[in-house]
């Protein structure tokens, strides 16, 4: 099913766009997104001493880490639409400025509800993805948009930056210094963004375009499918980025600094390699990359799901006990591979969008981003609930394994299986004829 977008923004590169201006916009936008994502993932590290101080259970900790993700997700659709209407430069600058007071006030929170409420306002930073994606994409020709959006999306590495910076500040000065430093960083990045970014009136949607017209995409089954994909590769990335530090501390008994460093082995490739995923999606097609991403995810999550197990066997020589489970090195290696796969997947999903909806990137990316963000909100809470219920830490990966199964089945029946029926002798990895 297609949606009407005849009145939306043209996707062609404006004649006024020079190479230097494009690169400047891409660089400062990526820097701004990195800072926003670093702030958005702040609770993944400072939440550990807060959990201890407030004596929170796993479910409460999951809710604490997820609160910023909620608002950062819900605001993505309107931000994408406002970017189409008013331009990415002004919307991004206003969004960053709005988060600074809340980031600074986080240092003075003392009660659990303080952190939850302030976290909602800090979470606005997470909506920056739906601003920068259409803003950056429209400065580049179509055959380079996947790469451009991938470079911008590499700002996800802010999750890894948070894991490098926050533990050092926390150990040296206490957790309350972290939001104060982050507020200063956000202010500095805002100034740089405003100085070196640019705007082009040709990128704006016409004033006759209605909010309801842009939301018609919600009725498109392809959009719903891309939402499902993105809830894994982005929602899962956000959720595990928030969850991994405390997982290492609890499962392997590591110091928080070592735990954060190892957790960055997942967060860092999951961010910076998104640009590579965009280039691969441009070259081989969105379907080919996404299909293999789902299979790699399925294998990794299957292995990660297996809990630490001791198996006692009666042999002819007596009782023998075997231990089955991942040590910290095997676990980190699988997380590293999963991070790479999801970096490619995040880029390939948005390549689908730029291919199928070139005139409505802002609204569609906002909707898909909303789905991914809501995945990042719901999953940490479910991780905590499952841990409280089963007392098995790997239950988080069992849940993700099931979610990946849904996407694989959906992709098979709507993309892989359909093509041969239409007379296309493609292989499983070839680009399909999509509905």
CATH for 19-206+217-421 is: 1.20.1250.20
pLDDT computed for residue 83 by the predictor: 85
Domain boundaries of the chain, sorted by first residue: 19-206+217-421
Burial class (CB in 10 A: 0-12, 13-18, 19+), 52: exposed
pLDDT computed for residue 147 by the predictor: 79
pLDDT computed for residue 426 by the predictor: 38
- Structural contact between residues 80 and 218, judged by C-beta atoms closer than 8 angstroms: no
pLDDT computed for residue 215 by the predictor: 62
pLDDT computed for residue 217 by the predictor: 65
- State pTM to two decimals: 0.75
User: Which parts of the chain sit beneath pLDDT 50?
Assistant: 1-17, 420-435
pLDDT computed for residue 14 by the predictor: 44
pLDDT computed for residue 209 by the predictor: 54
pLDDT computed for residue 278 by the predictor: 80
């Amino acid at each position: 099913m297609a949606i009407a977008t005849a009145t939306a923004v043209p996707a062609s590169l404006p004649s006024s766009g020079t190479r230097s201006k494009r690169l400047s916009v891409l660089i400062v936008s990526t820097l701004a997104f990195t800072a926003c994502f670093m702030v958005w993932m702040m609770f993944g590290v400072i939440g550990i001493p807060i959990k201890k101080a407030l004596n929170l259970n796993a479910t409460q900790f999951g809710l604490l880490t997820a609160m910023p993700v909620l608002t950062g997700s819900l605001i993505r659709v309107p931000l994408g639409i406002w970017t189409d209407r008013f331009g990415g430069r002004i919307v991004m600058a206003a969004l960053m400025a709005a988060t600074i007071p809340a980031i600074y006030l986080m240092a003075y929170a003392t009660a659990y509800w303080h952190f939850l409420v302030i976290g909602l306002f800090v979470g606005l930073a997470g909506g920056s993805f739906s601003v920068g994606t259409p803003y950056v994409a429209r400065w580049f020709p179509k055959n380079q948009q996947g790469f451009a959006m991938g470079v911008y999306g590499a700002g996800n590495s802010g999750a890894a930056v948070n894991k490098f910076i926050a533990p050092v500040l926390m150990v040296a000065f206490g957790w309350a210094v972290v939001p104060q430093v982050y507020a200063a960083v956000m202010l500095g990045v805002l100034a740089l963004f405003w100085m070196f970014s640019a705007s082009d009136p040709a990128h704006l949607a016409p004033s006759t375009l209605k909010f309801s017209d842009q939301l018609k995409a919600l009725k498109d089954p392809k959009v719903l499918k891309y939402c499902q994909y993105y809830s894994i590769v982005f929602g899962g990335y956000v959720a595990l980025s928030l969850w991994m530090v405390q997982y290492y501390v609890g499962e392997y008994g590591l110091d928080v600094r070592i735990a954060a460093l190892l957790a960055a082995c997942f967060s860092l490739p999951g961010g910076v390699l998104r640009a590579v995923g965009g280039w691969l999606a441009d070259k081989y097609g969105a379907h080919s990359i996404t299909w293999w991403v789902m299979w790699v995810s399925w294998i990794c999550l299957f292995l990660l799901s297996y809990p630490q197990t001791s198996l006692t066997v009666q042999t002819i020589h007596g009782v023998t006990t075997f231990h089955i489970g991942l040590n910290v090195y095997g676990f980190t290696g699988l997380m590293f591979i999963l991070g790479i796969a999801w970096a490619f997947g995040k880029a390939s999903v948005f390549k689908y969008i730029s291919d199928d909806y070139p005139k409505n990137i802002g609204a569609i990316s906002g909707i898909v981003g909303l789905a991914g963000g809501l995945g990042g909100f719901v999953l940490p809470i479910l991780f905590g609930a499952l841990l409280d219920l089963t007392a098995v830490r790997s239950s988080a990966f069992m849940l993700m394994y099931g979610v990946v199964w849904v996407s694989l089945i959906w992709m098979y029946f709507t993309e892989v299986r359909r093509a041969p029926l239409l007379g296309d002798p493609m292989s499983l990895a070839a680009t399909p004829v999509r509905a």
